Structure 1
Amino acid sequence: MVLIAKLRDALSVAERDPELVRSQLEAFGHQVPLLYFILLVNTAAVAIMHVNCAPAWLSIYFPAALCALCVVRCIRWWQCRHRVLTDNQAVPELRKLTWLAGLFAIAFSSWSLLLFPYGTAYEQTQVAFYMATTVVGCVFCLMHLRAAAMLLLSIVILSFSTFLVFTGYPVFIAMAVDMTLVGVALAFIIQLYCRTFADVVHAQRELQASQQKTQRLSDDNFRLASIDSLTDLPNRRSFFASLRALSEQALSSGNGFNVGLIDLDGFKQVNDIYGHASGDLVLQEVGSRLLSLAEPGIFFARLGGDEFGVLAQHQLANETLVELGERICGVLSQPYRVAGNIAELSGTIGWAAFPEAGTTMAQVFERADTALYVGKESRRGTPVIFSTEHETRIRRSSLVTQELRHADLESELFLEFQPIHDVLAQRTIGLEALGRWHNARLGAVRPEEFIRIAERTELILRITEVLLHKALDEVARWPPELYLSFNLSAIDICTSARARRLIDIVMASGVPPHRVSFEITETAVTRDFEQARCSLTVIKKAGCRVSLDDFGTGYSSLSYVHRLPFDTIKIDRSFMTDVDSNSASKKIVKSVLDLCRNLGLECVVEGLETASQVEVVKALGARAMQGYLFSRPMRASAVAEYLHTTRGQDYAVQTLS
């Protein structure tokens, strides 16, 4: 039973392993020409030697038919040699070849046995030799097809050995025994070879599977490295890789493309008011909205935080670019549902064209960033295309940055002071220090220009210290009733250590801390609310006063006023231009004044230029005012004379030095 099972296994096809079957057929395909060459040559040689001693049908027609069958099969192989078999086709094909090998074995064995009795002992010996050599050659050609090789070997050896034994001649009996032993040896060789071949195929399969798994892991890692996990957009790395590829392609082809940078307006407030989890939901929604706008040639990515990038792979006309930008801005400006509330955001886009705006990847990206900055400054929620005007601004900014880095700040920086007036007491109660810079090469540089650059390069830290020292030196000469109002930037309160440094400067000056009021804008507060609260609390605890400047111009929330340690709120000058003629402006000012009164805060109204404006805001309840009507900013040396000529003072001006 064991022998029968082994024989059945040897003659079976590996149906459960179609990949192995395909490999067997592929390997056998290389041996087909040799197989038929052996059959044709050996058959022809035997047939020719028996032409004169055997009947024509046996020496000519029968072998001719067999040779023709071999030629037909060889032509068929040639026509199908490049065919790729599927798993479903491989097993039936191998079965067909196995049965075909059996039929060939029967046909050629039958012909040999019928031919054997004819001729002399020499011709008979040739037939026996033909069968022995042919079966060995064919078995080696069929080595990869175990079932076919075993079937062929069994048919030929059993039939011919049995025939030779029954001839009764000792020589033929010896040949039969020899053929049988060689056949058994060949069977073992076939079994061993096929097992080795299968092991090799399985090893290759495992190697391929391992490589595929490694490739999948590599692809997954690449995806994780290239896709932003929060928004499912390509990330910064992927964006710059695409930008680099586009740049190289454009340089070689002479074509252009467009780079866009998108920044969300008001996203910081979402994080501060509703928390970072809600902010993440907003970013996910932004990613989804941008993906809905993606189309062939338009590539969106998240660069970090609330900044996104877009690549238009074919250069677009300015009109088309503006239209695309407006569509993006329109989608981003739609309301967002956050924590059961509705958040209103917008998106600003800066566009730059390659190669018009820049001939390198870095240049075109910087130009898009410049256009974005221009949009954030004055055209929020709209697309801005980089232009020569922006180029001039870049050159100017670069020049100012260079000069500011190498400036002698101690000698080039100076202060001007603008009085803060109490209209009820008819006296000056304080002065705001305003930083000024005069450079030998640039001349007088506008404060909004060099302060913006200083904040971007963090030179503002040094500038703040220099100006604070100069301001405190002047305060020491003022009457003790006057206080100093000094402006801080967001960088100045970015850490508690910076806030403590400011306090140390105040303490070292000898000026009482209560005479110093530090002003901070709404924008600076909302940049990092928690850190701003910590820093301002440090300043407040040291005895200094804290003022919220430009109230009403940023993305202010009443919760900021309630949660931060402010002493004073300054109403921005933009509300004063028509306060005497616009009822809406009047109501806003009235609301802020009432808010300050209810919270126990002082209120300073900025930007007053006419007597009618003063009368209106005074009637609304304002007391502390500031503007050109009272005095333009003056140099430190002019403060004493200004106070001397202001007759409503309650203190002795002669104490001024």
Structure 2
Amino acid sequence: MSGLLFFQRVANVFRVPTGNAELSRAQYDAFAKQIPLLYLLLTTNTIAVATSYVNVAPFWLTVGLPAVLCLMCILRLVKWLNRSRKMPTDEMVLKQLRQTNRLAIVIAAAFTAWGLILYGYGDAYAHGHVAFYMAVTVIGCIFCLMHMRSAAIIVTLIVNVPFIIFFLLQPQTSLKAMALNLVFVSAAMIIVLLIYSRDFARLVESRSETRRLGDENFRIANLDALTGLANRRWFFAELTKQHERAQTTGAAFAIGIVDLDGFKPVNDTYGHMTGDRVLTEAAQRLKEACGDDIILARLGGDEFGFIVSGNPTRDELRWLGAAISDVIRLPYAVGSSQALLGSSIGVAGYPQSANDPQALFERADYALYHAKRHQRGQMVIFSTEHEEQIRSHSVIEQALQNADLDAELSMVFQPIVDITTGRVRAFEALARWQSPTLGNVSPDRFIPVAERAGHVRGVTKTLLKKALAALAQWPADIRMSFNLSAHDLSDSETVVQIIAIINRSRVDPKRIDFEITETAVAHDFKQAVAAVQTLKALGAGISLDDFGTGYSSLSHVHRLPLDKIKVDRSFITDIGSNPVSLKIVKSLTALCADMGLDCIIEGVETAAQLATLRDLGCRMVQGYYFAQPMTEAEVPAFLASADEKRA
């Protein structure tokens, strides 16, 4: 058994290894650069020897046969010089290595036979030239083939063994000594070849491992560890590549940003481990919806990005948006219950929306912002209208940066009336901005810009000071509602500053109701709850504004320390003609009663709406039917008029 193993190992020395494609490629690449030199060496040395034997050996041996051998070498030389620089396939590499092995046998045997025959002619000097030719040429050929162990050893043995035997059979002692020298040189050359072959294989393996580790590090650096998707860095790298290709080919592409609506409450309610599982499942659903042709990455938190190449049409993008929304909307198992999510998507196309990657991403982000603010749970494709809005917002932002907030901002107040008694119970404080450059700018225009630009905290503090100054002049039984932004709630320092402003105003905090929106709460639910609890501890009331328009209203109702709920005006507009709106308002009114919360109905504009609300048992209402927003100076007269009507 051991003898068989030995012969197998010996046989393997003469074979091309087949189990390591990378080693085969490295051998091919290395000897392919040297094999033209091998054929050039054979040709020049052969011509030199043949020339020295022209007058002492037959024509066929000095011209005919050398010409054939040299022509074969030249043809092989030309073939290798003209080989394609493109790396061949693994099969082609293995085929070429095996062909080189076979040619090594044929070429070595042919030149050895020619040398031995030629040795029979000429004098001692000519014999010495042949011996020198064979020794020097074989060493040169071995060095050219050293990256192919099998071919180099084959050449060594085929050339040297016949000459060793030939010299040993000669009567001259010097030739016998030369034969022994060849034995030792051949043995040394074979040992060197084996050692070099082993070291070369290890080097290739080491390079392969280094490359693998580098690829793995690159993969890790560009992979999101939680979801298994690509990360933000990889996304922007691919966006840059896609942009460069598009500039070259003229092709269009689109990028999109997906934000999971309702994820933060799930994360805050059930904990980060459950949140991570939901996020991972959402990522897999996104991957299935996008397929293999769309680049998908996690940008951070519950935000994902995708790149669609191949000149996508608006209809194709809408179809993709619908597919994403459908899979994200399916329930998620969280313990013994289920969680529901939605997806708001912003999309921008190249070159329609922007001409560079950063601007394109900003356009997609703006489309997402628009979707979350106006079309939550849907896809918004960036349009020329949005471009105009951006320019308008830029002008507003610039004006805000240069504004004297104390001088330019003001408050107006709209009454909240108890329709069972006719008394004014409170006023909602509404912001107004009179810009020296832009004129009168409505709050629905400048507040979103202030939020996006990071100016809203300064706006809030200025408005609160003015609102509290007005409240201090009103009767003690009149309350005031004041709106807080998501950015106000998400910053604990701003909450502290709000409390400080209230304390300095000397207004009883119990007369203040802070209105928060579901969007503000969802922005950072944990921090929002902490902020609300701090304001509640101060004595202020908390109202949930625009109720029914958010994504997870009921979850916010039972998890926030609320005092009031304000039903959005969108349910009141058609309450007399739309049975669905009527049922919704009726249900919300009953819900508030069951939970011990005050219910305020916004947007009452007609007597018919008011009559319907009376029939439903509603009590607190607000709207143009009673009064439009008024200045601080107009409030006393309005209160006096209301008291007269009630009397």
Are residue 425 (structure 1) and residue 432 (structure 2) matched?
Answer: no
Distance (whole Å) between structure 1 residues aligned to residue 311 and residue 11 of structure 2: 65
- Unaligned runs of at least 5 residues, structure 2: 1-6, 18-22, 81-87, 144-151
Q: Secondary structure at the match of 1:261?
A: strand
Which residue of structure 2 aligns with residue 518 of structure 1?
514
- 1:302-339 CA distances to partner (integer Å, 9 max, x unpaired)? 33333333334344454555455445545555555555
TM-aligned CA deviation for residue 483 of structure 1: 1.7
Judging changes above 3 Å, is the alpha-carbon distance between structure 1 residues 211 and 124 closer, same or farther for their aligned structure 2 residues? closer
How far apart are residue 650 of structure 1 and its match? 9.8
Question: 1-side partners of 2:358 and 2:239: how far apart?
Answer: 9
1:55 aligns with none
Shift of 1:587: 3.3
How do 1:229-378 residues align onto structure 2 when only pairs under 5 Å count? 229-251=225-247, 256-292=252-288, 294=290, 298-330=294-326, 332-333=328-329, 339=335, 343-378=339-374
Deviation at 1:475, TM superposition (A): 1.8
1:440 matched to 2:436:
yes
The correspondence for 1:399, drawn from 388, 395, 414, is 395
Structure 2 residue 611 is the aligned partner of structure 1 residue 615:
yes
Map 1:124-203; keep pairs closer than 5 Å: 125=124, 129=128, 132-137=131-136, 139-141=138-140, 143-144=142-143, 145-146=152-153, 148-149=155-156, 152-153=159-160, 155-160=162-167, 162-164=169-171, 176-203=172-199
Q: How far did 1:575 drift? A: 2.3
Secondary structure of residue in 1 paired with 2:507: coil
Q: Which amino acid in the other structure matches residue 311 of structure 1?
A: I
2:408 to 395, 404, 412: 412
Code of the aligned partner of 2:235: F
**Where do residues 600-611 of structure 1 align in structure 2 (5 Å cutoff)?**
600-611=596-607
Q: Please, which of 225, 228, 238 is the counterpart of residue 224 of structure 2?
A: 228
The answer for the alignment partner of 1:14 in structure 2 is 13
- Would the alpha carbon gap of residues 12 and 214 (structure 1) be closer, same or farther in structure 2, given more than 3 Å must change? closer
Is 1:387 the counterpart of 2:386? The answer is no
Residue 561 of structure 2 corresponds to 565
Q: Which amino acid aligns with 1:595?
A: L
Give the Cα–Cα distance (whole angstroms) in 2 for the partners of residues 615 and 36 of structure 1: 111
Distance (Å, rounded) in 1 between the aligned partners of 2:311 and 2:114: 74
Instruction: Report whether the alignment pairs 1:217 with 2:220.
Output: no
* Equivalent position amino acid for 1:163 in 2: Q
Amino acid at match of 1:445: V
SS at structure 1 position matched to 2:588: helix
State the alpha-carbon separation in 2 of the partners of residues 634 and 616 from structure 1.
26
2:349 aligns to what SS in structure 1? Answer: strand
Q: For residue 490 of structure 2, what is the amino acid of its counterpart?
A: C
Partner residue of 2:631 out of 610, 630, 635: 635
> How much has 1:530 moved relative to structure 2?
1.5
Task: Determine if contact 2:46/2:70 at 8 Å carries over to the other structure.
Answer: no
Residues 387 and 80 (structure 1 numbering): CA distance in 2 closer, same or farther, change over 3 Å?
Answer: same
Closer, same or farther: CA 179–350 of 1 in aligned 2, 3 Å: same
1:143 and 1:190 in contact (8 A); partners too:
no
Describe the superposition over 1:217-270 as per-residue Cα deviations: whole angstroms up to 9, x where unpaired. 222222333343444444332332333334444455655443333334444444
Structure 1 partner of 2:575: 579
- 2:40, 2:74 within 8 Å by CA — same for their partners in 1? no
CA drift at 1:291 = 3.9
Separation in 1 of the partners of 2:118 and 2:449?
102
Aligned to 1:596: 592
TM-score, scaled to structure 2: 0.81
SS at match of 2:428: strand
Pairwise CA distance, 1:414: 1.0
Instruction: Answer yes or no: is the 8 Å Cα contact 1:500–1:539 preserved in 2.
Output: no
CA separation of 1:187/1:227 partners in 2, compared to 1, >3 Å: closer, same or farther?
same
Whether the aligned pair in 1 keeps the contact of 2:429 and 2:480 (CA below 8 Å) is yes
Greater alpha carbon shift after TM alignment, 604-613 vs 194-203: 194-203
2:470 matched residue in structure 1: 474
- Give the CA deviation at 1:111: 7.2
The verdict on how the C-alpha distance between 1:628 and 1:131 changes in structure 2, with shifts beyond 3 A counting, is closer
Q: Structure 1 pair 43/520, CA: closer, same or farther in 2 (3 Å)?
A: closer
Change over 3 Å in CA distance of 1:34–1:617 after alignment to 2: closer
State the distance in 1 between where 2:643 and 2:125 align. Answer: 144
User: RMSD of the TM alignment (CA)?
Assistant: 3.9
1:433 is displaced (CA, Å) by 1.3
Looking at structure 2, the residues matched to 154 and 315 of structure 1 have their Cα atoms a distance apart, in angstroms, of 68
> Any idea what SS the aligned residue of 2:425 has?
strand
Deviation track 1:173-212 (CA, whole Å, cap 9, x = no partner) reads xxx2333334434443444445445544444443333332
The aligned amino acid for 2:163 is V
Matched residue of 1:570: which SS?
A: strand
> How far did residue 407 of structure 1 move?
0.8
Paired residues in the alignment total 613
Structure 1: state its 5+ residue gaps. 1-7, 50-58, 116-122, 165-175, 652-657
Shift of 1:409: 0.7
Range that drifts further, 11-20 or 593-602: 11-20
Q: Measure, in 2, the Cα distance between the counterparts of 1:464 and 1:478.
A: 21
Separation in structure 2 between the aligned mates of residue 300 and residue 13 of structure 1, nearest angstrom: 48
Residue of structure 2 equivalent to 1:552: 548
For 1:252 and 1:150, the matched residues in 2 are separated by 56
2:419 is aligned with what amino acid?
V
Distance in 1 separating the partners of 2:609 and 2:350: 51
- Deviation per CA, 1:520-543, whole angstroms, max 9, x where unpaired? 112212222221111111111122
- Is 1:506 aligned to 2:513, yes or no? no
1:539 to 512, 517, 535: 535
CA positional deviation for 1:461: 0.9
* Secondary structure of the corresponding residue to residue 544 of structure 2: strand
In structure 1, what residue type is equivalent to 2:556?
Answer: Y
Does the 8 A contact of 1:438 with 1:445 survive in 2? yes
CA contact (8 A) 2:52 2:126 kept: no
> How far has the Cα of 1:640 moved from its partner?
1.1
Mean alpha-carbon deviation: is it higher for 318-327 or for 552-561? 318-327
* Whole-angstrom CA distance in 2 between matches of 1:127 and 1:631: 125
Alignment partners' CA distance in 2, 1:633 and 1:89: 88
CA drift of 1:449 comes to 1.2
Q: Which segment is superposed worse, 424-433 or 293-302?
A: 293-302
Q: Distance in 2 between matches of 1:186 and 1:580?
A: 113
Asked if the contact 1:260/1:351 (under 8 Å) is kept, the reply is yes
Distance 1:155 1:643, change over 3 A: closer
TM-score by length of 1: 0.80
Range with bigger deviation, 358-367 or 98-107: 98-107
Confirm or deny: 8 A CA contact 1:35 1:137 kept in the other structure.
Answer: no
Q: 2:440 corresponds to which letter in structure 1?
A: A
Amino acid paired to 1:379: Q
Q: Which residue identity is paired with 1:440?
A: P
Q: Do the aligned partners of 1:425 and 1:648 also contact (CA within 8 Å) in 2?
A: no
Shift of 1:137: 4.3
